[in-house]
Structure 1
Amino acid sequence: MTPHWLRDERLHFGVGIEDTFVPQQGIGRRPIDEYELMQHYENWREDLDLAVEAGAEFIRWGIPWYLVEPRPGEFDWRWLDEVSAHMHSIGLRCVVDLMHYGTPLWLDNQFVNATYPERVASYARAVAERYAGVWDDFTPLNEPVINAIYCGEDGTWPPYLTGGDGFSKVIVALAKGMVRTQQEIAAVNPAARFVHVDAGFRWEGDDLPLAREVLEERRFVSLDLITGRVVPGHPMHDYLTGNGIREDDLAWFPDNAVTPDVVGVNYYPGFTTVRYRPDGGTDPVEAGTAGLRDLIELYWQRYGLPLVVTETSRGGSVESRLAWLGESLEEVERLRAEGVPVLGYTWFPFFTLVDWLYRHDARPADDWFVHMGLVDVVRGPDRRLARVRTEAFAAFRASAAR
């Protein structure tokens, strides 16, 4: 077992390409595939080369499971073979995002399908076995708590469950899939390393939909589940059992506990922190570097594992992005100087994305472009999406070269 590549004295720089895939559609719900909307399928080689040009050592990049396994147990590797070979040839390490919200169309009821944990683990094992030595770093599932909120609590994405009962069903299924994914990957690639990626959650004010202590514990529930911490007496144990999760379902986790090598923290200064309105909606609260420090310290104190900022950026003008790049890197360096092992920094997204609200709207994708990247995407008269380097691109490259 060799040490993880991140565990040296340097701060490693990376970028990520937004890779949300929710292929299911219905009345008022069109599918969303960020690679298709951003023409990444056509421009993937240019996009990866741009990441290297920007100074990135690694990239967070996701596999569209629904395309790679179009039928149960049948895999189409043609595109992934090309992508993985090119990443290898240009020296770009990939932290593979195996699951980014969407399941294949053939999996009825998505995450609450009884076979989901084994299905996702089987797919992950196949990927890990085929690309061992080229792709050795894996995120079993991106932002599990966000996933459970959208799919299980708010009814926004399939399987469209709602309430605490829905949240609990989805988060337990996701966590079991994460455990089985890590187990199956490790079985075929002992050199594999695992980066758990969670969304940061922060709240201001007292008008909250759940008790503050529940919200503050719930943001850690997926990592606590997979590491076997949710036992009687744990703050989330009664919440989950009170929402229909059986004791034997929870007891499975301590018996199968896994630990990631690295914990990734996703933080956006302009919207990670929210304030709830009386009508149940939320307003974003600017939290700056204080919010970034708060979350990193919370994860470090709770788990004692190496950390990576796996997503951060700021929307709006290029000037605001430049400012955040400088401010956030300074804060990361302060934390490192204080002994907090922040080993990586990821600008995410690398280029423009389409807002998830596009899925519930009829307007063209261009109306939903969100420019938060080092590279802006601009549609030309030929309908092709050009990649335009911003000043933030050059600043990121200079920071990575230090």
Structure 2
Amino acid sequence: MKHNNTGPEIWAGIECTINRIGNVYHQQLEKSGHLNRLDDLDKFAALGIKTIRYPILWEQIAPGKLEDADWSWADERLNRLRQLGICPIIGFVHHGSGPIHTDLTDPEFPVKLAAYATVFAARYPWIKYYTPVNEPLTTARFSGLYGHWYPHGHDNNIFSIALINQCKAIVLSMQAIRRTIPDAKLVQTEDLCKIYSTPILAYQAAFENDRRWLSFDLLCGKVDENHPMWDELLSYNILPDTLTWFTDNICLPEIIGINHYLTSNRFLDENLSLYPDHFHGGNSYQRYADVEALRVPDIDSCQLYSLLKEVWNRYGLPIAITEVHLGGHREEQLRWLKECWETAQQLYTEDIDIKAITVWSLLGSFDWNSLVTRNDHFYESGVFDISNNTLRPTALSTMMKGLIKGHNYDIPLLNKPGFWKRADRFLLQYQSELVLSGFDDEMDDEPVAPVLIIESDTDLSNAFATCCRSRAIPYQMVSMHGQDQIDYLTVREMTELYKPWAVISTIAYNTNFRKHTSELMNLADMSVQNNSQLLVFLPDNAGCTIGLLKIMPDAMIVDRLQCSAEYSPVQVNRWMDLLIDKAFGAIDAA
């Protein structure tokens, strides 16, 4: 990993969680298929990346005794990364609790992970960068406080033991690695959030805002008698000697890795009646609602810039944004990546040592809508979409390549505000107040090229219009009044007037599509001249896809469309994502 003086870099990462629910392990690499595809690495390299967060996870390599570990998978992958000139930042535990013979509350957990690290370093002495445990504080909360993951604890003692064991495992692992690789570097990651509240709950917000630093503070030797969490940890039956061990074994990160998600920041409100039951929670003294802060007005809750400034002011160590990902529609993913990149660049101009942003979830992720507590195979795509068991590059791939090369990547939708800057993000009880107060979406006064929907099949046209409205995508409709052919002059006039970035024709051509050859060629030519994406539909079993592809090779053609009065929002949203991805050729309607 070579850092230059030209500004932040673009790194990449794979969602690789192996977490335990009861005695069942959920493994992201198995679900994504990466376990069995070596050539994924070549596709990653083609993006232009030089650094990747890469998992060689303890539970996968050595699920039993360490002497029985199977390193063949790691050998093959790490050697290929080396050949490709990509520097790996190696992870050993990612939201896991280790193999079945240990867990986060096991006093031997730190020593056992350090033993794994010792063997790893001896086998791969050329690897310099490590994240022995990803997000130890977050994992401790989810496993020890909230009961989501093994050992499914619900008390502060289990939380504290899980946190301390993970942080001690990081220290011992780095000590073990450095006995073989003296210049090995720690890249320590953590999900960073900020808590907001009503005045009555200011005490709880202050407590959680102190607690959020604990993993970094332990590693940096900051948790002493003067630390705001010292007495709290002692009240959880943590011994003073356990805490002073960290001040005697300081393990400063070479790079502090910040993982921040838009819903990480929270707002606490004692007025339970304002919120649905699933937001209700509390502490030992008081019940309150715990909601995403971005759902509440008048809270500066989405400023990654401010959070990173807090990190810099607290530690003064180099920073990387080590996970940039958003589960949602493609245009929102692009907007979030753009915002994170611009934030990093702004901080760099202010002489803050920010090394990189990491485009996370190269292969997407599974079941994070349930915090990986269920095995539903709910998939969110990332830089690649693997929903059809192949790696299809998405618009994130194109944007990522452009950023790495120093090019601006721009599509009209990037000029619209992300949902986290729009009024419709707020909970319903606040939206009427905002209308009265004249709340304006950020950047929403900029003109944006629309989608042009050629209306023939009214149901399909309306489905796309609904999709556009729900996603705040500007659109224009041009009606063909039920005709089975396009009024080319009308469409041309609309195209010249609105300059759409995409044209969607809802006319379903039948098997005798050849009589429409001229209008199809005109539509295709017009789209090429206007640099517009083109989407056309075929009825079920039309059998004319090959012929259409010859006429319009750059178009996206949805085949085997069942003419129906009800089009699934999931289906229509998928087609819209594919348009943004600039997909072309035959696409199955399913």
TM score, norm. by length of structure 2: 0.62
Question: Which amino acid letter does the alignment assign opposite residue 169 of structure 1?
Answer: I
Distance 2:203 2:323 in 1: 26
Query: Does 2:336 align with 1:324?
Result: yes
Residue identity over aligned pairs, in percent, reads 26
Three-state SS of the structure 1 residue aligned to 2:392 is strand
Does the 8 Å contact 1:67/1:104 carry over to 2? no
Three-state SS of the structure 2 residue aligned to 1:386 is coil
CA RMSD of aligned residues (A): 2.1
2:251 aligns with one of 252, 258, 264: 258
Aligned residue number for residue 156 of structure 1: 148
Aligned residue number for residue 9 of structure 2: 12
Aligned residue number for residue 32 of structure 2: 38
Three-state SS of the structure 2 residue aligned to 1:160 is coil
1:194-273 map, 5 Å: 194-206=186-198, 211-268=204-261, 270-273=262-265
Distance 2:202 2:373 in 1: 24
Does the 8 Å contact 2:196/2:205 carry over to 1? no
Q: Could you give the per-residue CA deviations for residues 70-103 of structure 1, whole angstroms, max 9, x where no partner exists?
A: 3233221111000010000011111111211223
Aligned residue number for residue 396 of structure 1: 400
Query: Does 2:80 align with 1:86?
Result: yes
Query: Does 2:90 align with 1:121?
Result: no
Does the 8 Å contact 1:24/1:105 carry over to 2? no
Distance 2:201 2:116 in 1: 38
Aligned residue number for residue 137 of structure 2: 145
Three-state SS of the structure 1 residue aligned to 2:35 is helix
Aligned residue number for residue 387 of structure 2: 378
Deviates more, 1:388-397 or 1:317-326: 317-326
Q: Structure 1 pair 96/209, CA: closer, same or farther in 2 (3 Å)?
A: farther
Q: Could you give the per-residue CA deviations for residues 327-352 of structure 1, whole angstroms, max 9, x where no partner exists?
A: 22112111110111111110111121
Aligned residue number for residue 21 of structure 1: 18
1:287-298 map, 5 Å: 290-298=302-310
1:176 aligns with one of 158, 168, 177: 168
Could you tell me which runs of 5 or more consecutive residues in structure 2 were left unpaired when the two chains were aligned: 273-279, 282-288, 407-590
Distance 1:292 1:212 in 2: 18
Distance 2:371 2:148 in 1: 12
Aligned residue number for residue 284 of structure 1: 292
Distance 1:376 1:283 in 2: 30
Question: Which amino acid letter does the alignment assign opposite residue 91 of structure 2?
Answer: D
Aligned residue number for residue 494 of structure 2: none
Does the 8 Å contact 1:289/1:331 carry over to 2? no
Question: Which amino acid letter does the alignment assign opposite residue 202 of structure 1?
Answer: K
Once the two structures are TM-superposed, the CA of residue 289 in structure 1 deviates from its matched residue by 9.3
Aligned residue number for residue 53 of structure 1: 46
Distance 1:123 1:390 in 2: 36
Distance 2:145 2:371 in 1: 20
Once the two structures are TM-superposed, the CA of residue 208 in structure 1 deviates from its matched residue by 5.7
Q: Structure 1 pair 358/310, CA: closer, same or farther in 2 (3 Å)?
A: closer
Could you tell me which runs of 5 or more consecutive residues in structure 1 were left unpaired when the two chains were aligned: 380-384
Does the 8 Å contact 1:65/1:103 carry over to 2? no
Three-state SS of the structure 1 residue aligned to 2:303 is helix
Q: Could you give the per-residue CA deviations for residues 300-354 of structure 1, whole angstroms, max 9, x where no partner exists?
A: 0011001101011222222122222222211211111011111111011112100
Deviates more, 1:90-99 or 1:277-286: 277-286
Once the two structures are TM-superposed, the CA of residue 10 in structure 1 deviates from its matched residue by 3.5
Deviates more, 1:59-68 or 1:34-43: 59-68
Distance 1:284 1:103 in 2: 27
Q: Structure 1 pair 338/149, CA: closer, same or farther in 2 (3 Å)?
A: same
Does the 8 Å contact 1:60/1:95 carry over to 2? yes
Distance 2:336 2:50 in 1: 20
- Considering Cα pairs closer than 8 Å and 6+ residues apart, tell me whether 1 or 2 has the greater RCO: 1
Once the two structures are TM-superposed, the CA of residue 282 in structure 1 deviates from its matched residue by 4.0
Does the 8 Å contact 2:174/2:184 carry over to 1? no
Distance 1:120 1:7 in 2: 33
Once the two structures are TM-superposed, the CA of residue 176 in structure 1 deviates from its matched residue by 1.0
Question: Which amino acid letter does the alignment assign opposite residue 393 of structure 2?
Answer: R
Question: Which amino acid letter does the alignment assign opposite residue 399 of structure 1?
Answer: L
Does the 8 Å contact 1:6/1:344 carry over to 2? no
Distance 1:62 1:210 in 2: 39
2:267 aligns with one of 271, 275, 279: 275
Three-state SS of the structure 1 residue aligned to 2:94 is coil
Aligned residue number for residue 64 of structure 2: 71
Does the 8 Å contact 2:219/2:250 carry over to 1? yes
Three-state SS of the structure 1 residue aligned to 2:403 is helix
Distance 2:206 2:125 in 1: 42
Q: Structure 1 pair 125/9, CA: closer, same or farther in 2 (3 Å)?
A: farther
Question: Which amino acid letter does the alignment assign opposite residue 32 of structure 2?
Answer: M
Q: Structure 1 pair 24/285, CA: closer, same or farther in 2 (3 Å)?
A: closer
Q: Structure 1 pair 65/209, CA: closer, same or farther in 2 (3 Å)?
A: farther
Question: Which amino acid letter does the alignment assign opposite residue 370 of structure 1?
Answer: E
Does the 8 Å contact 1:315/1:321 carry over to 2? yes
1:89-100 map, 5 Å: 89-100=83-94
Does the 8 Å contact 2:114/2:176 carry over to 1? yes
- Aligned positions, number: 383
Distance 1:288 1:329 in 2: 19
Aligned residue number for residue 347 of structure 1: 359
Does the 8 Å contact 1:31/1:359 carry over to 2? no
TM score, norm. by length of structure 1: 0.90
